């Protein structure tokens, strides 16, 4: 593991494993919000990549802070991605391997079959997905996956390509069977604000059924704001609340949960 990742993982506190802290939503008060988050015990972030244009700014944004990042082409923005963006991604991953700027994964990429429903769109998503999985394999990096209505297709692709570097399926809300299949493939499952909703009974049952170290805490801020949150904008400050709920559901202390979270991230982020 590289120095920067190691330093972030070894600091005391929580890590928000999926936070879009680079989004314009935070432009006016990013430093202030980060300070508040640190006061709540957050010690690091992982900021996912969503496009070439956005990804190009991440290394510089994360450099002076305990923030790690990933680069990827998000399926939600399918129409924006160009074929040459895959070449850019390949070159950027190659370059990051030789430096210590905090790149830890490929992503977020995946399949979103609720956003894109035509056969042509789904085929285009699958091609982009396969290509990024191959890049992650080549560069020996874990992945941050976005899956909506497509967990069976995602798991099939992971098997088909023999991808073995693991990663996290962020904001997981599939079935228990789909969850177990991901765990068997060496993945963790991202757990965020949805878990705090009274109506998320399926997710709560899945959390109850699986070992506590199956889950990585994340906010997906600024999105996925739970109803009880006082602001419209979600924040990494939500993590301690999520941790309280998960620790309580699993009958362990938050200190134990924190060290399990750290172990899980350490095992994934080999860089």
Kindly tell me which of 23 and 180 has the beta carbon lying closer to Zn ion: 23
Least distance from C-beta 23 to Zn ion, angstroms?
10
Least distance from C-beta 144 to Zn ion, angstroms?
8
Q: Is 6 helix (H, G, I), strand (E, B) or coil?
A: helix
Least distance from C-beta 24 to Zn ion, angstroms?
15
- Please identify the residue of the shown chain whose CB is closest to the bound Zn ion: 220
Least distance from C-beta 25 to Zn ion, angstroms?
13
Q: Which helix (H) or strand (E) holds 137?
A: helix 119-138
Kindly tell me which of 112 and 220 has the beta carbon lying closer to Zn ion: 220
Residues of 21-55 as b/e, b for ≥16 C-beta within 10 angstroms?
bbbebbeeebeebbeebeeeebbbbbbbbbbbebb
Kindly tell me which of 21 and 163 has the beta carbon lying closer to Zn ion: 21
Name which of residues 214 to 233 contact Zn ion (CB under 5 A).
220
Kindly tell me which of 107 and 166 has the beta carbon lying closer to Zn ion: 107
Q: Give the Cα separation of 56 and 43 in Å (integer).
A: 24
Burial tier of 207 (Cβ tally within 10 Å: 0-12, 13-18, 19+): buried
Show the beta-strand stretches assigned E in 23-101: 42-47, 67-71
Least distance from C-beta 252 to Zn ion, angstroms?
27
Kindly tell me which of 2 and 222 has the beta carbon lying closer to Zn ion: 222
Least distance from C-beta 69 to Zn ion, angstroms?
12
Binding mask 115-144 for Zn ion (x = CB under 5 A): ------------------------------
Stretch touching Zn ion by CB under 5 A, among 52-60, 117-125, 202-210, 213-221: 213-221
Kindly tell me which of 22 and 220 has the beta carbon lying closer to Zn ion: 220
179-185 contacts: CB < 8 A, separation 24 or more? 179/206, 179/210, 179/214, 180/210, 181/151, 181/155, 182/151, 182/155, 183/210, 183/214, 185/155, 185/158, 185/159
Interface residues with Zn ion (CB under 5 A) are 220
């Amino acid at each position: 593991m590289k120095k920067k990742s190691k330093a972030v993982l070894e600091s005391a506190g929580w890590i928000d494993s999926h936070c879009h802290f680079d989004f314009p939503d935070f432009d006016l008060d990013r430093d202030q919000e980060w300070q508040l988050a640190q006061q709540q015990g957050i010690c690091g972030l992982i900021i996912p990549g969503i496009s070439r244009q956005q990804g190009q700014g991440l290394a510089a944004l994360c450099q002076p802070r305990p923030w790690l990042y990933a680069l990827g082409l998000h399926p939600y923005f399918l129409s924006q991605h160009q074929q040459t963006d895959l070449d850019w991604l390949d070159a950027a991953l190659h370059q990051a391997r030789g430096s210590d700027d905090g790149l830890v994964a490929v992503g977020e990429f995946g399949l979103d079959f609720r956003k894109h429903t035509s056969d042509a769109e789904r085929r285009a998503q699958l091609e982009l997905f396969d290509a990024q999985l191959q890049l992650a394999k080549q560069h020996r990096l874990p992945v941050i996956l976005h899956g909506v209505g497509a967990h069976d297709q995602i798991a099939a692709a992971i098997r088909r390509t023999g991808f073995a570097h693991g990663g996290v399926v962020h904001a997981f809300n599939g079935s228990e069977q789909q969850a177990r299949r991901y765990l068997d493939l060496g993945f963790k499952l991202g757990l965020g604000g949805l878990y705090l909703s009274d109506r998320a009974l399926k997710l709560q049952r899945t959390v109850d059924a699986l070992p506590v170290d199956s889950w990585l805490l994340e906010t997906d801020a600024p999105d996925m704001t739970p109803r009880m949150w006082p602001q419209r904008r979600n924040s990494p400050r939500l993590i301690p609340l999520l941790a309280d709920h998960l620790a309580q559901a699993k009958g362990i202390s938050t200190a134990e949960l924190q060290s399990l979270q750290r172990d899980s991230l350490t095992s994934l982020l080999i860089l």
